[in-house]
Structure 1
């Protein structure tokens, strides 16, 4: 967890969770705007090989109460946090994620990758994996691809093995227990988390709203950072307005 010392301590704590083989630099293009919304904390998802263990570690290092923002795999961890300590979460944003269980084909594919990863030096993610995370029109954007690969290489082989080992269970039935304000963000051209899954999540969470970002792939913080920042800003403003204490009644 990192928390810049010069931030305004009257702002809420924001706890941001990255996706698979990503790190806190995922948020770099939004950081200047995010610090206007809250005090930034970044969860570490690289030390554990299960979603629940990741959630437990994040909670051990997190502020007492926080706004929780989970991207992709971080969204699964955010849902586990909601099961472990819902009273600590002021509001929840789930970005380009799902509550869907991995199917047999995905699990088998992961096992093949794990066996290979244990036998050879780690050279980062494949070109195909990197390209599939972006809008098709940006699948050859060298700047974005290099940024994604740099994050993967910083995480390294052991994090790759741990995160790939973390199975994702079906969490749709648990979503109805989320009582805090919630935001679901999906992208029209996301090849990894579908719009239909996002809509299903929004339908299950009682106090959820959903926003669809057009012409964007999976990596919204990199592909559409300012639009995503505006969505989060508008949502938090609405949450704060609802939670603001009522003004005292003035006597005539």
Structure 2
């Protein structure tokens, strides 16, 4: 049975982007997503902690919604589930994890932060951009320019705030999630591993997982129509 909506109101879809991305991440899916419900886009650029990002998103969100979090947005989505689980109808975690940052990652971020505070922001490095895509797309100028344009729109202050936001271990909290949950992983994701997605799957009794083949981290840009179909099928199946 499809999910029912009282008073013929449309479903509310709340979408959260990843690190140094913005709502244009969803442009290739936007028309299709609008057929599924009314779209809302969370702002993750104003705060320097995951919990504060989640609180801000909740302040601006509709009363109840289907929550779709990509990459860093997946961490924020998990924080939303801890802060206001009663408001989330269903949860989609795309190319993300519940793993905490290790000491090496934290140290690397500190180096980047110190450098970022001292020099003008010119966007993300070519290496960082390429690593977010399937190896076959690592030199795709159109995709790389789209990613860099989002980073430049966010700018230096957002870069510093988001890089300062530490990711804590969320696996222990996942079992509390009782709403329908979709986990999407990609076969060639260099930033969020399949193993991390499977570990989330094992912790959430209501979850199922879909693997997108021949795709890097940026599923909304690399495989938008396939991702749209996955989301559409999942939303239509929610009871």
TM superposition score category, shorter chain reference: over 0.9
Alignment-derived partner of residue 33 in structure 1: 32
Alignment-derived partner of residue 50 in structure 1: 49
Alignment-derived partner of residue 202 in structure 2: 203
Matches within 5 A, 1:92-171: 92-171=91-170
Structure 1 segments of 4+ aligned residues over 2 angstroms from their partners: none
Query: What CA deviation, in whole Å up to 9, does each residue of 1:165-189 have, x standing for no partner?
Result: 0000000010000000000000000
Larger radius of gyration: 1
Q: Give the whole-Å Cα distance in 1 for the aligned partners of 2:37 and 2:45.
A: 24
Q: Give the whole-Å Cα distance in 2 for the aligned partners of 1:217 and 1:91.
A: 25
Q: Give the whole-Å Cα distance in 2 for the aligned partners of 1:84 and 1:18.
A: 19
TM-score after normalising by structure 1: 0.92
Structure 1: segments with no counterpart, 5+ residues: 1-8, 243-252
Q: Displacement, 1:10?
A: 2.6
Query: What CA deviation, in whole Å up to 9, does each residue of 1:56-99 have, x standing for no partner?
Result: 00000000000000000000000000000000000000000000
Alignment-derived partner of residue 238 in structure 1: 237
Q: Give the whole-Å Cα distance in 2 for the aligned partners of 1:202 and 1:211.
A: 10
Query: What CA deviation, in whole Å up to 9, does each residue of 1:166-220 have, x standing for no partner?
Result: 0000000100000000000000000000000001101100100100000000000
The number of aligned residues is 232
Q: Which has the higher contact order (CA 8 A, sep 6+)?
A: 2
Structure 2: segments with no counterpart, 5+ residues: 1-7
Q: Are positions 1:219 and 2:218 aligned together?
A: yes
Which secondary structure state, in structure 2, belongs to the residue aligned with residue 177 of structure 1? Answer: coil
TM-score after normalising by structure 2: 0.97
